[in-house]
């Protein structure tokens, strides 16, 4: 399998989640390019393949959390669960003819730009590959963040991260600890409380929780969407613009912020009657600063005692004993780390080497930067999907991914149009873009809300994960490739295609 000659293709996509598959679908449908999708796991689906914990579900409406070019009329729920989204992505890969392009079990160890031939050289666990265009779609929530808790390795029971759920562990009759209060923890805790003997949740920072109000779609509604032309687009449009209005809550529009806070605190008050518990669950920062979570089950599970709240971080472990920062002690059989992901410092960046052999992680040593959220100076013919300032706190990630895909296709068309091989953004354009990002970020709740979050790089206190504007503005500004600020060139030596 591992040959001496690298496999040569025009384009390589790294990752087969929503970003990688979305890119692959459009390459397959609209271009004649040869391309491969390298995937370290043995299936497509990205975060929806990895996250199989009890209760895993999306908090963006299912009709928005799907490709605009692969709508699905029979989503059964307003919010799809993880397995349904995973199936949707598997179906997409198969029906769009991507399986021949996929290389599973291929972990990319190094991606290095070779200026003499103007190609990217990839070393992987299944051999070497060489391509003209490299598209990294390695995901934003894909590398588990494991906290450094003294005694963690010596814990006397099973320990696993929420995104690597160990289904062989029987939770019935077990005393389970859950670390974290992010979106995963809030879905996990009430669900495992139904079988476990006891569940204790270690809360470092309280989350704002708003009503989920999930509902099923009736058969008639599904048939309506399938049979009446334009109906599914109208629904998507309505859901999208409704979500867009939510951005007002993130930029300190006082009435919108107050209304949002009232909804969350009202939800808490209506579901938790014990004033002491309510106080412990009341966040001390502004709403929206950290990700706002949707749940109708979380507060009742705490209120009824099905889940016990430890209002401090997990401090240390010793055999079966977990000690919280407050000094409280718990005997645990199983420990679940719902502690999030490496977001601001993506591990893939340590494996990418651009001009002069500079590592992308070094280029990003003060935080991720890119022009148009997609291209990085010093890294020719490299495109990053879901990288710097390309996520949202208020609307669907798929809209952002599709925007970037459109940008990349435009850039590739441009190269063809000007008969060039290499495209590279200039540092000046990138700097100007980043200044504008910083300017727009300054007034947002993510930098003014008084919290620490996975949206902000703690090395520079810059907002590097989120796009600090409406999603429509991202489409307006990034959706069409603009060649200004880019240099193009021919490959230094003729290379056989």
Tell me how far, at minimum, the Cβ of 166 lies from another protein, in Å: 38
8 A C-beta contact, residue 416 and residue 488 = no
Q: Does 237 bind another protein (CB under 8 A)?
A: yes
Angle 178-181-182 from CA coordinates, rounded to 5°: 115
What residue spans of 154-253 are helical by DSSP H? 183-192, 219-227, 231-245
Going by the DSSP 8-state scheme, the letter that residue 275 receives in this structure is H
Q: Compute and round to an integer the Cα radius of gyration of the chain.
A: 23
Q: Please tell me whether residue 270 binds another protein under the rule CB under 8 A.
A: no
Let me know how long the chain is. 497
Q: Which residues contact 435 (CB under 8 A, 6 or more apart)?
A: none
Name the segment binding another protein (CB under 8 A); options: 74-82, 177-185, 229-237, 422-430: 229-237
Counting contacts by CB under 8 A, is residue 259 touching another protein? no
Q: How far is the CB of 173 from another protein (least distance, A)?
A: 45
Region at 384 (left for phi over 0; alpha for psi -120 to 50; beta for the rest): beta
Q: Which stretch binds another protein (CB under 8 A): 233-241, 310-318, 336-344, 381-389?
A: 233-241
Window 449-488: contact mask with another protein (x via CB under 8 A)? ---------------------xxxx-xx------------
Q: Does 440 bind another protein (CB under 8 A)?
A: yes
Q: Is 241 in the site for another protein (CB under 8 A)?
A: yes
Q: Least separation, in Å, of the C-beta of 242 and another protein? A: 8
443 binds another protein (CB under 8 A): yes
**Strand extents, DSSP E, 247-373:** 293-294, 307-310, 314-318, 321-324, 329-331, 334-337, 352-353
Do residues 470 and 397 lie in contact, with contact meaning Cβ atoms separated by under 8 Å? no
Stretch that binds another protein, among 174-182, 212-220, 239-247, 299-307 (CB under 8 A): 239-247
How far apart are CB 46 and another protein at their closest, in Å?
21
Interface positions, 62-101, toward another protein (CB under 8 A): 64, 68
C-alpha span between 296 and 135 (Å, rounded): 39
Instruction: Name which position in 65, 165, 247, 353 contacts another protein (CB under 8 A).
Output: 247
Out of 212, 351, 399, 462, which residue is the one contacting another protein (CB under 8 A)?
399
Kindly state the smallest distance separating residue 493's Cβ from another protein, in Å.
41
Terminal-to-terminal C-alpha distance of the chain? 22
Does 290 contact another protein by CB under 8 A? no
Give the nearer residue to another protein in terms of CB position, either 43 or 244.
Answer: 244
Alpha-helical runs (H) found in 32-131: 47-50, 82-95
Q: Is 215 in the site for another protein (CB under 8 A)?
A: no
List the interface residues with another protein, window 161-190 (CB under 8 A): none
Q: Which of residues 142-161 bind another protein (CB under 8 A)?
A: none
212 counts as binding another protein under rule CB under 8 A: no
Cβ proximity to another protein: between 143 and 244 the closer is 244
Task: Pick the binder of another protein from 165, 240, 260, 341 (CB under 8 A).
Answer: 240
Residue in the block written with tokens 């953004």: 425
Contact residues for another protein, defined by CB under 8 A? 64, 68, 233-234, 236-238, 240-241, 244-245, 247-248, 251, 253, 255-256, 399, 440, 443, 470-473, 475-476
């Amino acid at each position: 399998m591992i040959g001496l000659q690298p496999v040569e293709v025009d384009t390589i996509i790294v990752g087969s989640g929503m970003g990688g598959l979305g890119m692959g679908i459009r390459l397959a449908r609209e271009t004649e390019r040869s391309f491969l999708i390298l995937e370290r796991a043995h299936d497509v689906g990205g975060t929806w393949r990895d996250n199989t914990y009890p209760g895993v579900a999306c908090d963006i409406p299912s009709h928005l959390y799907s490709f605009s070019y692969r709508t699905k009329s029979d989503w059964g729920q307003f919010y799809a669960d993880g397995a349904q989204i995973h199936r949707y992505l598997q179906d997409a890969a198969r029906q769009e003819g991507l399986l021949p392009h996929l290389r599973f079990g291929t972990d990319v160890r190094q991606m290095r730009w070779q200026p003499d031939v103007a190609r990217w050289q990839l070393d992987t666990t299944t051999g070497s590959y060489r391509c003209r265009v490299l598209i990294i779609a390695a995901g934003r929530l894909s590398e588990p963040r494991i906290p450094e808790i003294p005694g963690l390795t010596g814990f006397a029971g099973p320990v696993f991260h929420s995104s690597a759920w160990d289904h062989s562990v029987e939770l019935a009759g077990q005393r389970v600890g859950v670390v974290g209060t992010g979106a995963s923890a809030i879905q996990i805790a009430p669900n495992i409380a139904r079988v476990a003997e006891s569940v204790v949740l270690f809360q470092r920072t309280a989350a704002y929780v708003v009503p989920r109000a999930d509902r099923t779609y009736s058969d008639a509604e599904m048939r309506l969407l399938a049979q009446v032309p334009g109906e599914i687009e109208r629904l998507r449009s309505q859901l999208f613009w409704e979500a867009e209005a939510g951005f007002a809550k993130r930029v300190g529009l006082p009435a919108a912020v107050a209304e949002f806070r009232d909804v969350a605190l009202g939800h808490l008050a209506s579901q938790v009657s014990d004033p002491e518990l309510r106080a412990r669950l009341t966040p001390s920062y502004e709403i929206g600063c950290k990700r706002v979570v949707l749940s109708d089950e979380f507060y009742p599970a705490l209120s009824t005692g099905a889940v016990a709240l430890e209002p401090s971080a997990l401090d240390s472990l010793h055999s079966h004993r977990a000690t919280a920062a407050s000094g409280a002690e718990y005997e645990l059989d199983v420990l679940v780390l719902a502690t999030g992901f490496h977001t601001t410092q993506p591990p893939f960046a340590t494996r990418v080497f651009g001009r002069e052999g500079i590592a992308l992680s070094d280029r990003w040593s003060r935080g991720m930067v890119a022009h148009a959220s997609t291209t990085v100076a010093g890294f020719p013919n490299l495109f990053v999907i879901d990288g710097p300032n390309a996520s949202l706190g208020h609307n669907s990630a798929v809209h952002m991914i599709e925007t970037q895909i459109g940008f990349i296709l435009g850039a590739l068309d441009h190269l063809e149009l000007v008969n060039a091989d290499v495209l590279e953004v200039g540092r000046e354009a990138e700097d100007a873009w980043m200044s504008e990002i910083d300017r727009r970020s300054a007034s947002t709740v993510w930098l003014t809300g008084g919290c620490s979050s996975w949206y902000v790089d703690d090395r520079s206190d810059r907002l590097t994960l989120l796009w600090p504007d409406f999603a429509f503005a991202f489409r307006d500004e990034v959706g069409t490739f603009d060649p200004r600020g880019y240099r193009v060139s021919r490959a230094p030596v003729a290379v056989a295609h």
